[in-house]
Amino acid sequence: MKRLIMVLVFAAVSAAIAGGYWYWQQSQQAPGDSKSADKAKPKGGKGGRGGPLTVKATRAISKPMPVLIEAVGTVEAEQSVQVRAQISGVLQSVAFREGDRVKAGQLLFQIDPRTFQAQYNQALAALARDKAQLENARAQQQRMEPLLKREFITRQEYDVAVTSSKSLEATVQAGQANVEQARIQLEYARIVAPISGRTGQLAVKPGNLVPSAGGGAPLVTINSTDPVLVSFSIPERQLEDVRRYQSEKDMRIEILPDRASGSVAAGKLVFVDNTVTPQTGTVLLKTRVDNSKEAIWPGQFVNVRVVLTVEPEAVVVPEIAVQPGQTGPFVYLIGTDDKVEIRQVKVSRQIGSEIVIASGVKAGDHVITEIPQALRPGSTVRIADPAADGAKKGEGKGKGKGGKKAEGKDKDKSGEADAPKSTPKQ
């Protein structure tokens, strides 16, 4: 009897627990189902109120665009000279300032010339002595010639006089060479600019001993800055295009300090290397450009733009409209009935913020420039109205500068600043 009572009590407690658990599950499930249902509702347009997505778009246009090859180049001085002394001596003066422009033949340095002046004077004196001796020997020979005809002197005596004259002639020639050498050494004391250009850093100051050529650093380096050469390399596959358009008058080369700036110099192609570099597969080219304003500097890295020709009717879209994909670049195109489709495109080249399309888009096509996260192929979209957006922004600002101006205009037009506004039609 007691066992039966215990079984009935256990069954009743189990039933109560099961019922309570079922009630608790029902109470927890109802709110969750409503949230899930809310999440499952599709969101359209802005703020999930349904309707088409608002996007920004523009039309592909057709306009002339250059066919380019872009590379990075290095500016080189067309002429560069390291100025060194050809004699050793104390540097007396420097006739220019570091960084000055100099002309060919302009005095740069003056080395103490006194030693070389003395050597030059000594060579002149020796030459004068030899010339005097030569004149005496020739006179002696002339006096002995008639005596030889009359046989007052022997033939041997006359030959000695002739030999003496010829020997002194050779001595005079050697003396003249010594004078010329001494004069050159004296001129080396004045160091002049071998080319026109701009000077660099000065290596020796006045008062220091200048070493002769080959010893130590150069006194100064002069680089010609107008014109200059720009050397750059292109892939070997582009060499054929360069050679095809090289003789065309429209082909030009533009130099840009950086991609964001405009061209500061332009020139013609003057050199194509006769071999391809095996390590890089590139070909070295050079252009000579006018640099009268010194917009670029020797040793500077610049951007080089080779304009091969101009395509008269190229299809152009903004850079932000082209998206990368696994199968290549594509654009979102607004087709018929304002439906979105994905169009694969082939990019020809990019110039600044514009991209030239080789195929896939034609002029007049609507391409989306700002892609919402919810945008999918087949979505219905409408193009944002820039004027409407601007008006909404002005209303949201309240009484800002634009609000005050608008109120002023309304007062001028109606003359009733406090008049109630009419309710707009729905």
User: The domain that contains 144 carries what CATH number?
Assistant: 1.10.287.470
* pLDDT number for residue 112: 94
* pLDDT number for residue 1: 56
Residues whose CB is less than 8 angstroms from the CB of residue 272 and which lie 6 or more positions away in sequence, other chains included: 239, 242, 243, 246, 283, 284, 285
CA-to-CA distance for 303 and 287, rounded, in angstroms? 13
**Which amino acid belongs to residue 67?**
V
Taking Cα atoms as reference points, which of 173, 266, 281 lies closest to residue 227? Answer: 266
Q: Residue 303 pLDDT > 70, yes or no? A: yes
**CB crowding 183-212: b at 16 or more within 10 Å, else e:** eebbebbebebebbbbbbebbbeeeeebbe
CA-to-CA distance for 71 and 239, rounded, in angstroms? 13
The reply to whether 181 and 201 lie within a common domain is no
Cβ atoms of 231 and 270 closer than 8 Å:
no
- Find which of 40-54, 154-168, 276-290 is predicted with most confidence, using mean pLDDT: 276-290
The reply to whether 206 and 236 lie within a common domain is no
Domain extent, residue 344, equals 54-65+313-383
* pLDDT number for residue 43: 42
**Which amino acid belongs to residue 263?**
S
The reply to whether 379 and 324 lie within a common domain is yes
CA-to-CA distance for 122 and 128, rounded, in angstroms? 10
Question: Count of domains in the chain?
Answer: 4
Q: Give the pLDDT band of residue 373 (cuts 50, 70, 90).
A: confident
Q: Residue 298 pLDDT > 80, yes or no? A: yes
The reply to whether 182 and 290 lie within a common domain is no
Q: What is the mean pLDDT of residues 390-395?
A: 42
* pLDDT number for residue 50: 55
The reply to whether 103 and 208 lie within a common domain is yes
Residue 213: which CATH number? 2.40.50.100
The reply to whether 98 and 198 lie within a common domain is yes
The reply to whether 182 and 208 lie within a common domain is no
In a domain, 145, yes or no: yes
Residue 296: which CATH number? 2.40.30.170
* pLDDT number for residue 385: 63
The reply to whether 267 and 303 lie within a common domain is yes
CA-to-CA distance for 389 and 54, rounded, in angstroms? 11
The reply to whether 246 and 294 lie within a common domain is yes
The mean predicted confidence, pLDDT, of the chain is 81
pLDDT over 90 percentage in the chain: 43
In a domain, 281, yes or no: yes
The reply to whether 267 and 141 lie within a common domain is no
Q: Which of 223, 239, 271 is the last residue before a domain boundary?
A: 223
- Helix segments in 41-154, DSSP class H: 114-149
H or E, element range at 92? strand 89-94
In a domain, 410, yes or no: no
Q: Residue 36 pLDDT > 60, yes or no? A: no
In a domain, 33, yes or no: no
Q: What is the mean pLDDT of residues 193-213?
A: 90
